[in-house]
Amino acid sequence: MPGDIPVQELYVKAPKIYAKKVSGVFAKLRTSAMWLLLGWYYLAPWLTWDGRQAILFDLPGRKFHLFGLTLWPQDFIFLAWLLILAALALFFFTAVAGRLWCGYACPQTVWTKAFMWMERITEGDRNARMRLDKQPLSFEKVRKKTAKHSLWIVFALFTGYTFVGFFVPIRELSTDMVNGTLGGWGWFWVLFYSFATYGNAGKLREQVCIYMCPYARFQGAMFDKDTLIIAYDEKRGEPRGARKKDAERGHDGLGDCIDCKQCVHVCPTGIDIRDGLQIACIACAACIDACDEVMVKMNYPKGLVRYTTEHRDTGKETHVLRPRIIIYAVLLFTLMALFVYALSVRTPLRVDVLRDRGRLYTATSIGTIENVYTLKVMNMDQVPHRYRLQASADVPVIVKGDLEFEVPAGEILNIPVRLEIDPYELKEATSTVSFRIESIDQPTLVVEESSSFIKPANVGAR
């Protein structure tokens, strides 16, 4: 009967989650990770190297400075490579230990944790917050909410300012902000990232993980029955039920779960781990800490909720070394080694050869053929270099132009070069010529580039 079917909204107001403070081994681990990651984030732009900001992504200048390394747009392959490495690392760690990333290292988790801490010191823990939200408007409520949002806004502004500081020298940015000389776009980005921080860590929180995050959706593909997961020991816990504190263990046929709902109350995504493995679980292990605390109080063994694997849970053996892990590991470490090698042998010199396209060739008064090229010599090093240019082909070549020149650090110089070849020496209408640019002060800096040399298809008899 269609009339009896309840109308269920496709969109409902997201329920607010009041995560309870939790302490324990994994809470300590998460806090350490937060200090390490946020500390690095806020301090990194202040590091200096060789008189300039050590980490600076200079977008207008198209140069990424990473300590002693300056990457140019031509080095973009390294970024692609780095992203592939990051993806592979994520796959590897997911296959071995599940959602480690989500629980301990993801910026969403880390900033949310920081924001939750500010929430707790201003509004109190779970119960106090729930009470406060139910209260009618009062001076106390306004005071606490204002304190929380003020803390959040200051922290968010500091985050946005630091983020922009990775792209604009942070010392200049600071003086510009203080003196009021920062341009409109500078302010826009600072405020944009502040707002994004405030919105993500203050308001959206678990909704990002549940409804927006692509990794949360596809991480299941890396899972197998040997992957580390957080699970509730159903065999031991069920049937769950409340009991008197001094009741004997196993009394009334009850399992170890006293149904205190601590695991639900501490969960930052608002799920019940006892329902089994689910997509909303970010594997933060807060429920483990909460449950262990209760188990200790009850004088039950710890680990009713614990890190385990599906195989272990079903009484089988867990295999750490399995084809999936080995393949990910081999791929990851091979690519990483290649990446480090490629980066270490990278030549900070690049030459683009542009053949003049205005005309194919020029005939001289003595009947030889000339082609003109523009060499764009990019000194990608952090010091100036003096270079020597040579050109060669299978036949004798006369090179006309500056054969020695200096390029300042991080600059591009245009060097026009004219090559002259006797066309009777050349068999083909188009032949290859190669340019060799070598640093005089550092002979290991060598680049060879080739281009075409074009002569008339028919030069007639000599």
Contacts of 121 (CB under 8 A, 6+ apart): none
**Which of these segments, 291-299, 305-313, 361-369, 437-445, binds other proteins (CB under 8 A)?**
361-369
Q: Is 367 in the site for other proteins (CB under 8 A)?
A: yes
Q: At closest approach, how far in Å is the CB of 347 from other proteins?
A: 25
Which of 80, 178, 320, 366 forms a contact with other proteins (CB under 8 A)? Answer: 366
**Which of these segments, 83-91, 337-345, 366-374, 389-397, binds other proteins (CB under 8 A)?**
366-374
Q: Is 358 in the site for other proteins (CB under 8 A)?
A: yes
Size of the site for other proteins (CB under 8 A): 32
Which of 93, 104, 373, 435 forms a contact with other proteins (CB under 8 A)? Answer: 373
Which of 61, 276, 301, 416 forms a contact with other proteins (CB under 8 A)? Answer: 416
Which of 359, 443, 461, 462 forms a contact with other proteins (CB under 8 A)? Answer: 359
Q: At closest approach, how far in Å is the CB of 454 from other proteins?
A: 13
Contacts of 424 (CB under 8 A, 6+ apart): 459, 462
- Specify whether the CB–CB gap between 219 and 94 falls below 8 A: yes
**Which of these segments, 54-62, 85-93, 115-123, 351-359, binds other proteins (CB under 8 A)?**
351-359
Q: At closest approach, how far in Å is the CB of 147 from other proteins?
A: 26
Which of 234, 293, 356, 449 forms a contact with other proteins (CB under 8 A)? Answer: 356
Q: How many CA atoms lie within 13 A of 313 on its CB side?
A: 22
- Amino acid residing at 370: E
Is the Cβ of residue 241 or residue 367 nearer to other proteins in the bound state? 367
- Identify the CA nearest to 400 among candidates 430, 369, 426: 369
Is the Cβ of residue 358 or residue 443 nearer to other proteins in the bound state? 358
* Three-state secondary structure of 393-457: CCCCCEEECCCEEEECCCCEEEEEEEEEECHHHCCCCEEEEEEEEEECCCCCCEEEEEEEEECCC
Report strand pairing: 305-308 vs 229-232: antiparallel
**Which of these segments, 77-85, 379-387, 412-420, 429-437, binds other proteins (CB under 8 A)?**
412-420
- Specify whether the CB–CB gap between 228 and 97 falls below 8 A: yes
- Specify whether the CB–CB gap between 241 and 258 falls below 8 A: yes
- Identify the CA nearest to 63 among candidates 159, 184, 169: 169
- C-alpha angle 322/328/330, rounded to 5°? 95
Which of 2, 184, 250, 323 forms a contact with other proteins (CB under 8 A)? Answer: 2
Q: At closest approach, how far in Å is the CB of 264 from other proteins?
A: 15
DSSP 219: G
Q: Is 458 in the site for other proteins (CB under 8 A)?
A: no
Site string for other proteins, 307-346 (x = CB under 8 A): ----------------------------------------
Is the Cβ of residue 446 or residue 454 nearer to other proteins in the bound state? 454
Q: Is 408 in the site for other proteins (CB under 8 A)?
A: no
355 sits in which H/E element: strand 349-355
Q: Site residues for other proteins, window 13-52 (CB under 8 A)? A: 13-14
Residue carrying structure tokens 């301090």: 43
Q: At closest approach, how far in Å is the CB of 354 from other proteins?
A: 8
- Specify whether the CB–CB gap between 359 and 395 falls below 8 A: no
Gyration radius of the chain's alpha carbons: 33
- Alpha-carbon separation of residue 384 from 346, 381, 432 (angstroms): 17, 7, 30
Is the Cβ of residue 299 or residue 364 nearer to other proteins in the bound state? 364
**Which of these segments, 12-20, 105-113, 178-186, 222-230, binds other proteins (CB under 8 A)?**
12-20
Is the Cβ of residue 203 or residue 249 nearer to other proteins in the bound state? 203
Q: At closest approach, how far in Å is the CB of 439 from other proteins?
A: 23
Q: Is 457 in the site for other proteins (CB under 8 A)?
A: no
Q: At closest approach, how far in Å is the CB of 370 from other proteins?
A: 8
Instruction: State how far the Cα of 101 lies from the Cα of 22, in Å rounded to an integer.
Output: 20
Is the Cβ of residue 5 or residue 77 nearer to other proteins in the bound state? 5
Q: Is 207 in the site for other proteins (CB under 8 A)?
A: yes
- Alpha-carbon separation of residue 275 from 222, 225, 232, 295 (angstroms): 21, 18, 8, 19
Residue carrying structure tokens 């079917």: 5
Q: Is 362 in the site for other proteins (CB under 8 A)?
A: yes
Which of 314, 365, 444, 458 forms a contact with other proteins (CB under 8 A)? Answer: 365
Q: What are the structure tokens assigned to 381, written together?
A: 């090093």
Instruction: State how far the Cα of 241 lies from the Cα of 73, in Å rounded to an integer.
Output: 63
Q: Is 270 in the site for other proteins (CB under 8 A)?
A: no
Which of 59, 342, 363, 440 forms a contact with other proteins (CB under 8 A)? Answer: 363
379 sits in which H/E element: strand 369-379
**CA 19 and chain centroid, separation:** 27
User: Which residues lie near other proteins (CB under 8 A)?
Assistant: 2, 5-14, 207, 211, 354, 356, 358-359, 362-367, 372-374, 400-401, 414, 416-418
